[in-house]
């Protein structure tokens, strides 16, 4: 079983899962086609395909059909993902083959897969999708007044994972990286990321028309036809204000002048 890249007739890229005979795995293909129809990023489709490939490999080992599983099999799948070897059980605090964050990523794909099939009438898939009322418990979200009382899907199984603050670079560290670049393009990219905080996919999908120099603004426009395959991972356009290039804290004078001249 393998994850296979697919090119559509219109040139769009997607991914699917093939079995050992090289045939499409029908339930996975239906779900991935659903993601493709929703214009999900090819990288997202590939990630979900990889998770479902692992799930079907596990099902083959325990000799179960995908529509015959119960919640207990998902628990066994978690143990299988974390085990360094097939005959090893990972104890609490032990060294696992995959981190809790990675396992939760695979579980997210798994429950999304079964949620899709539950909505399409697969009865056994319904048992793996639980629902809860959004107004239960003491915590109320900022948009509680919008969805209060409505049932929302929740994952019945999730590993605890330590909370980690995102690592950031100091101004001096960013400046060091910028000065180490040999090409103006690379210097500009680093300054752009540090100044705006945008994703690398958003940066790589920018076009000259997205820079509004006279208003010191940067437009993030979601596009699916970028030649380099970059995706903004947003559904709507957004505008990001930027500071004057000559006063950007992470730019040297020469770098700031050059980038402003090139992209104004």
Name the pTM for this structure.
0.65
Residues paired with residue 152 on neighbouring β-strands, in sequence order: 132
Same domain (yes/no): 143, 28: yes
In a domain, 165, yes or no: no
pLDDT digits (tens, 9 = 90+) for 174-222: 889 999 989 988 998 988 888 888 888 888 888 888 888 888 888 888 8
Q: Is 137 a residue whose pLDDT tops 80? A: no
Q: Which domain holds residue 28?
A: 2-154
Rounded Cα distance between 189 and 57, Å, is: 41
Residues 150 and 180 in one domain: no
Cα-based distances in Å from 241 to 198, 211, 213, 259: 12, 10, 10, 16
Same domain, 147 and 184: no
Contact 44, 31 (CB under 8 A): no
Query: Are 116 and 190 in the same domain?
Result: no
Domain boundary residue among 121, 154, 187?
154
Query: Within its chain, how far is the Cα of 121 from the centroid?
Result: 27
Same domain, 17 and 146: yes
Give the separation between CA 98 and CA 105, rounded to whole angstroms: 11
Mean predicted lDDT score pLDDT of the chain: 77
Last residue of a domain, one of 124, 154, 184: 154
Most confident of 27-41, 76-90, 220-234: 27-41
Q: How far apart are CA 51 and CA 229, in angstroms?
A: 22
Residue-wise pLDDT tens digits, 10-53: 777 788 999 888 899 999 999 999 998 888 888 889 999 999 99
> pLDDT tens across 93-124, in order?
556 678 888 888 998 899 889 889 988 888 77
Number of domains making up the chain? 2
109 touches 48 (CB < 8 A)? yes
The answer to whether residues 132 and 55 belong to one domain is yes
Domain shared by 10 and 129, yes or no: yes
First vs last C-alpha separation in the chain:
50
pLDDT attached to residue 101: 85
């Amino acid at each position: 079983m393998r994850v296979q890249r697919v090119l559509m007739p219109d040139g769009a890229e997607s991914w699917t899962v093939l079995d050992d005979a090289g045939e499409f795995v029908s339930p996975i293909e239906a779900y991935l086609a659903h993601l493709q129809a929703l214009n999900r990023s090819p990288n997202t489709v590939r990630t979900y395909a990889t998770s479902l490939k692992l799930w079907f490999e596990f099902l083959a080992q325990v000799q179960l059909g995908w529509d015959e599983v119960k919640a207990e099999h998902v628990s066994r799948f978690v143990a299988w993902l974390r085990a360094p070897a097939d005959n090893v059980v990972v104890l609490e605090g032990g060294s696992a083959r995959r981190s809790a964050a990675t396992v939760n990523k695979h579980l997210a794909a798994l429950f999304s897969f079964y949620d899709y099939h539950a909505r399409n009438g697969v009865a056994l898939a319904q048992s793996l999708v639980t629902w809860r009322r959004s107004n239960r418990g003491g915590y109320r979200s900022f948009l509680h007044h919008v969805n209060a009382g409505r049932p929302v899907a929740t994952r019945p199984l999730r590993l605890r994972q330590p909370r980690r603050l995102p690592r950031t670079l100091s101004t001096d560290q960013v400046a060091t990286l910028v000065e180490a670049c040999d090409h103006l393009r690379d210097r500009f990219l680093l300054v752009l990321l540090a100044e705006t905080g945008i994703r690398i996919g958003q940066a790589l999908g920018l076009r000259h028309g997205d820079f509004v120099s006279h208003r010191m603004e940067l437009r993030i426009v979601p596009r699916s036809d970028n030649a380099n395959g970059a995706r903004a991972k947003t559904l709507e356009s957004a505008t990001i204000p930027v500071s004057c290039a000559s006063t950007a804290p992470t730019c040297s004078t020469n770098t700031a002048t050059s980038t402003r001249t090139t992209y104004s």
